[in-house]
């Protein structure tokens, strides 16, 4: 038998089961030695072996990642195991191996609340020993301070080495970094890139756009820098390239720094403070003269000033806001041709959307959509669809009654199953008691008796919970109440409210912007196609019910005001059938005679083609159109996402 060191209170398992332990091991990055994970596990196993002599059930959670990251999957898994009360012990080399900051202390309190013991060996933290709070507080403070001090030392060292010419990490197009180079004096200019870079600045000075220069670079066969993820140049890449001051012989550091998001522990890149900026002169790396460089960049910035979100000196309204936190239908509406998201476009003050594929010349659907008008029209269509639901009261009440009856049936079946299981267990217990009287020394019978006793306790508890659970009261909401909820959901669509956006995405799970053309081959219009699902406004008892399909509608709405010939085509045809002449029809409808002629022509085309509406859905690029021109650019290549038509 192994020697067990005294530990007060001793390690013990719950319910006479094996000691269920979770060993937590972690290293920060992939550059650290993987053997460290095994070393941490070995130390924890040795500690358990020194303090417990019995059957063990050990689960290891080993991971790589920063302890500052509080949204790690391994941490969520550990918390779920603690809350389930299915483990007895959480053990780690120290608290920082689990996580850092205040979250480590909170985890200790969580363990104590759920009767799980937590031991951090090096920090001398044991939640079953009085006064562990002091040790845990000091340990979390120590780990956080040590982490901060280490970061400050690294920053100090890198800043100093940069001032001396070091910290040569990544190079851009035009520079060659020889193997083993650690100083900027070792960097070399690529002689083949010098005339190309000078031509870039000459074209910029003459008024060329970044996208035009990107096309020219691709035609010349110039590849982006060795650390670029994209194989071809594009407009934003050219802008980032020409704004690199190393092209005029100046190296800079700390233009961008990282800032910790305390909620998750992750870091985001932000602009550095002017006091943090480090500058180093490197004349041998200059491709263009410094004054000429500043002159060209100033011209380019002034030329693109109107395309910025804000003017110089104004605060950016999207600063610090996630791109996904945009008002409806941003980050939700998709192009019906290529399947890509519709992005907000345009200059300051314009609220228009364009297919992101069309912006990158990967889709021919270049129709602009007024985002604010799109939201208003969708809201109106949804409210009208709600008001037009037939037999709403009777259908809704029937669905509720059927669901509650189904719930009663399920509860009755579950109750009968539990009662039968409990009866079987009690019969087995009675039989075992008879055998035990004949063989009182049998350890097998005793173990089986304990197992059945545990099962009986569990079944009795589940049956009691089922009987004590109150039945939900059937409350039939009025139709007006549902309508009020819908009105509240669509109120203030232009406001960037994340809660409103999430609710709208539940009501409209799929929203596609599709181009349509008038059947006479003239106008191109954008229409919204979506599925309206009102089940999210229903009580949870009905959510997901197959019979709730009555609350689902397929809608198609116009996103702009149709022309007169489209609006009045049916009215003009009806008046003509009554014997009125074109001039009289125009006077009756309040439109010009030419508009009446076009409206009648559309009506005739609809009848000859068997159409029910004057619009035709476009699935391929029309032969003649003046509004769609993206496909005419040499950069255009139609590349729809999987599942979308590829016949263009």
Q: What is the per-residue pLDDT across 48-104, written as a single tens digit (0 to 9) for each?
A: 988 888 888 889 999 888 888 888 999 999 999 999 888 899 999 999 999 988 999
CATH of the domain at 296: 3.90.1750.20
Indicate whether 215 and 288 sit together in one domain: yes
Question: Is 273 a domain residue?
Answer: yes
Indicate whether 185 and 288 sit together in one domain: yes
Whether the link from the prior residue into 280 is cis, omega within 30° of 0, is no
Alpha-carbon gap, residue 91 to 22, rounded angstroms: 6
Burial (CB count within 10 angstroms: exposed 0-12, middle 13-18, buried 19+), residue 211? middle
- Predicted confidence (pLDDT) per residue in 147-198, tens digit: 899 999 999 999 999 999 999 988 999 999 999 889 999 999 999 999 999 9
3-class SS string, 375-431: HHHHHHHHHHHHHCCCCHHHHHHHHHHHHHHHHHHHHHHHHHHHHHHHHHHHHHHHH
DSSP notation for 87-112: -SEEEESSGGGT--THHHHHHHHHHH
Question: Is 274 a domain residue?
Answer: yes
Q: How many CB atoms lie within 10 A of CB 257?
A: 15
- Predicted confidence (pLDDT) per residue in 103-146, tens digit: 999 999 999 999 999 999 999 999 999 999 999 999 999 999 99
pLDDT of residue 645: 63
Give me the half-sphere count of Cα atoms (radius 13 Å) on the Cβ side of residue 439.
8
Question: Is 247 a domain residue?
Answer: yes
Residue-range definition of the domain harbouring residue 41: 19-149
Average pLDDT over the chain, rounded to an integer: 82
Alpha-carbon gap, residue 53 to 55, rounded angstroms: 7
pLDDT of residue 616: 87
DSSP notation for 275-328: GG-EEEE-GGG-SS-HHHHHHHHHHHHHHTGGGSSS-TTSPPTTTT--TT---T
Evaluate whether 492 touches 504 at the Cβ level (below 8 Å). Answer: no
Residue 530: what are its φ and ψ, rounded to 5°? -155, 165
* Residue 569 confidence class, pLDDT cut points 50, 70, 90: confident
* Residue 518 confidence class, pLDDT cut points 50, 70, 90: confident
- Predicted confidence (pLDDT) per residue in 5-26, tens digit: 467 788 888 776 788 999 999 9
pLDDT of residue 520: 82
Question: Is 479 a domain residue?
Answer: no
Extract the tokens encoding 447.
Answer: 């173990």
Alpha-carbon gap, residue 136 to 104, rounded angstroms: 8
Q: What is the DSSP letter of 518?
A: E
pLDDT of residue 327: 74
Question: Is 70 a domain residue?
Answer: yes
pLDDT of residue 293: 93
* Residue 2 confidence class, pLDDT cut points 50, 70, 90: very low
**Which of 307, 342, 363 is the C-terminal boundary of a domain?**
307
Alpha-carbon gap, residue 107 to 363, rounded angstroms: 50
**Which of 255, 274, 307 is the C-terminal boundary of a domain?**
307
Mean pLDDT of 398-410: 57
CATH of the domain at 85: 3.40.50.1390
Task: Return the SS3 of 85.
Answer: coil
Mean pLDDT of 486-496: 51
Evaluate whether 248 touches 289 at the Cβ level (below 8 Å). Answer: yes
Indicate whether 179 and 143 sit together in one domain: no
pLDDT of residue 519: 86
User: What is the pTM for the complete model shown?
Assistant: 0.64
Indicate whether 138 and 246 sit together in one domain: no
* Residue 462 or residue 261, greater confidence: 261
Extract the tokens encoding 570.
Answer: 């049916």
Alpha-carbon gap, residue 164 to 276, rounded angstroms: 16
Mean pLDDT of 410-436: 77
Evaluate whether 449 touches 429 at the Cβ level (below 8 Å). Answer: yes
Mean pLDDT of 319-329: 72
Extract the tokens encoding 328.
Answer: 């409806």
pLDDT at residue 384 tops 60: yes
* Residue 561 confidence class, pLDDT cut points 50, 70, 90: confident
* Residue 403 confidence class, pLDDT cut points 50, 70, 90: low
Question: Is 82 a domain residue?
Answer: yes
Indicate whether 138 and 182 sit together in one domain: no
Extract the tokens encoding 180.
Answer: 């083993």
Indicate whether 233 and 127 sit together in one domain: no
Q: How many domains does the chain have?
A: 2
pLDDT of residue 539: 53
pLDDT of residue 588: 87
Residue 303: what are its φ and ψ, rounded to 5°? -70, -30
Indicate whether 144 and 198 sit together in one domain: no
**Residue 25, strand partner residues:** 62
- Predicted confidence (pLDDT) per residue in 579-594, tens digit: 888 888 888 888 888 8
Q: How many CB atoms lie within 10 A of CB 648?
A: 16
**Residue 524, strand partner residues:** 517
Question: Is 385 a domain residue?
Answer: no
Alpha-carbon gap, residue 347 to 637, rounded angstroms: 26
Q: How many CB atoms lie within 10 A of CB 46?
A: 11
pLDDT of residue 312: 67
Whether the link from the prior residue into 205 is cis, omega within 30° of 0, is no
- Predicted confidence (pLDDT) per residue in 226-247, tens digit: 889 888 898 899 999 999 999 9
Question: Is 284 a domain residue?
Answer: yes
Indicate whether 116 and 197 sit together in one domain: no
Indicate whether 179 and 129 sit together in one domain: no
Buried b (16+ CB within 10 A) or exposed e, 456-481: beebeeebeeeeeeeeeeeeeeeeee
* Residue 3 confidence class, pLDDT cut points 50, 70, 90: very low
* Residue 527 or residue 400, greater confidence: 527
**Which of 115, 149, 183 is the C-terminal boundary of a domain?**
149
pLDDT of residue 1: 36
Of the listed ranges 91-95, 331-335, 497-501, the one predicted with least confidence: 497-501
Percent of the chain with pLDDT over 90: 31
Indicate whether 145 and 82 sit together in one domain: yes
Alpha-carbon gap, residue 106 to 61, rounded angstroms: 19
DSSP notation for 169-222: ----TTEE--TT--SGGG-EE-TTTHHHHHHHHHHHHTT--HHHHHHHHHHHT-
**Residue 516, strand partner residues:** 525, 617
CA 418-421-424 angle, 5° bins: 150
Buried b (16+ CB within 10 A) or exposed e, 527-536: bbbbebbbbb
Mean pLDDT of 389-402: 54
Extract the tokens encoding 527.
Answer: 């229409």
Mean pLDDT of 446-473: 72
The C-alpha R_g of the chain, in whole angstroms, comes to: 36
Indicate whether 141 and 180 sit together in one domain: no
Indicate whether 134 and 181 sit together in one domain: no
Residue 47: what are its φ and ψ, rounded to 5°? -65, -45
Alpha-carbon gap, residue 464 to 336, rounded angstroms: 54
**Residue 173, strand partner residues:** none
In Å, how far are 29, 261, 386 from 629, measured between CA atoms?
Answer: 49, 44, 39
């Amino acid at each position: 038998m192994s020697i067990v060191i005294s530990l007060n209170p001793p390690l013990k398992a719950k319910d006479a089961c094996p000691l269920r332990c979770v060993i937590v091991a972690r290293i920060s990055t992939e550059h650290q030695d993987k053997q460290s994970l095994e070393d941490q596990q070995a130390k924890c196993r040795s500690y358990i072996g020194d303090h417990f002599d019995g059957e063990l059930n050990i689960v290891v959670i080993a991971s790589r990642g920063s302890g500052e990251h509080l949204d790690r999957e391994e941490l969520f898994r550990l918390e779920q195991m603690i809350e389930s009360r299915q483990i007895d012990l959480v053990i780690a080399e120290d608290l920082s191996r689990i996580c850092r900051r205040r979250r480590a202390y909170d985890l200790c309190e969580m363990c104590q609340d759920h009767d799980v013991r937590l031991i951090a060996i090096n920090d001398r933290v044991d939640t079953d020993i009085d006064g562990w709070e002091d040790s845990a507080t000091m340990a979390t403070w120590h780990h956080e301070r040590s982490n901060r001090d280490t970061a400050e030392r690294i920053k100090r060292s890198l800043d100093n080495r940069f001032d001396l010419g070091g910290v040569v990490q990544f190079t851009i197009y035009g520079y060659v970094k020889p193997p083993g180079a650690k100083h900027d004096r070792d960097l070399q200019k690529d002689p083949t890139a010098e005339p190309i870079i000078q031509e870039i600045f000459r074209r910029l000075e003459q008024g060329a756009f970044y996208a035009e220069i990107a096309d020219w670079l691709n035609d010349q066969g110039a590849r982006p820098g060795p650390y670029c993820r994209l194989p071809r140049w594009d407009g934003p890449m050219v802008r980032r390239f020409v704004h690199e001051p190393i092209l005029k012989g100046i190296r800079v550091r700390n233009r961008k720094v990282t800032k910790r998001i305390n909620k998750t522990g992750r870091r985001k890149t932000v602009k550095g403070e002017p006091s943090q900026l480090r500058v180093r002169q490197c004349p041998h790396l200059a491709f263009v003269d410094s004054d000429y460089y500043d002159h060209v960049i100033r011209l380019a910035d002034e030329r693109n000033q109107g395309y910025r979100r804000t003017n110089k000196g104004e605060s950016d309204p999207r600063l610090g806001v996630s791109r996904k936190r945009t008002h409806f239908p941003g980050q939700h509406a998709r192009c019906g041709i290529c399947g890509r998201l519709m992005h907000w476009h345009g200059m300051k003050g314009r609220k228009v959307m364009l297919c992101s594929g069309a912006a990158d010349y990967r889709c021919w659907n270049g129709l602009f959509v007024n985002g604010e008008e799109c939201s208003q029209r969708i809201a109106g269509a949804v409210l009208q669809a709600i008001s037009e639901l037939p037999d709403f009261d009777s259908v809704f009440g029937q669905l509720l009654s059927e669901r509650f009856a189904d719930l009663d049936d399920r509860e009755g079946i579950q109750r009968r199953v539990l009662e039968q299981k409990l009866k079987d267990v009690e019969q087995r217990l009675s039989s075992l008691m008879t055998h035990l009287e004949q063989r009182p020394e049998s350890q097998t019978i005793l173990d089986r008796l304990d197992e059945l006793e545990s099962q009986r306790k569990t079944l009795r508890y589940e049956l009691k919970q089922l009987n004590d659970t109150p039945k939900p009261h059937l409350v039939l909401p009025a139709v007006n109440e549902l309508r009020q909820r819908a009105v509240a959901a669509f109120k203030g669509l232009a406001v960037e409210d994340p809660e409103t956006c999430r609710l709208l995405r539940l009501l409209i799970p799929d929203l596609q912007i599709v181009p349509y053309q008038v059947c006479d081959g003239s106008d191109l219009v954008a229409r919204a196609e979506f599925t309206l699902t009102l089940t999210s406004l229903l009580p949870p008892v009905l959510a997901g019910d197959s019979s709730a399909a009555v609350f689902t509608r397929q809608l198609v709405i116009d996103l702009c005001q149709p022309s007169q010939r489209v609006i009045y085509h049916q009215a003009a045809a009806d008046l003509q059938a009554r014997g009125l002449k074109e001039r009289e029809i125009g006077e009756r409808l309040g439109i010009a005679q030419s508009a009446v002629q076009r409206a009648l022509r559309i009506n005739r085309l609809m009848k000859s083609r068997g159409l029910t509406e004057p619009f035709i859905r476009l699935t391929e690029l029309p032969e003649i159109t003046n509004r769609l021109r993206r496909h005419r650019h040499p950069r255009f290549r139609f590349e729809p996402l999987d599942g979308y038509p590829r016949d263009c």
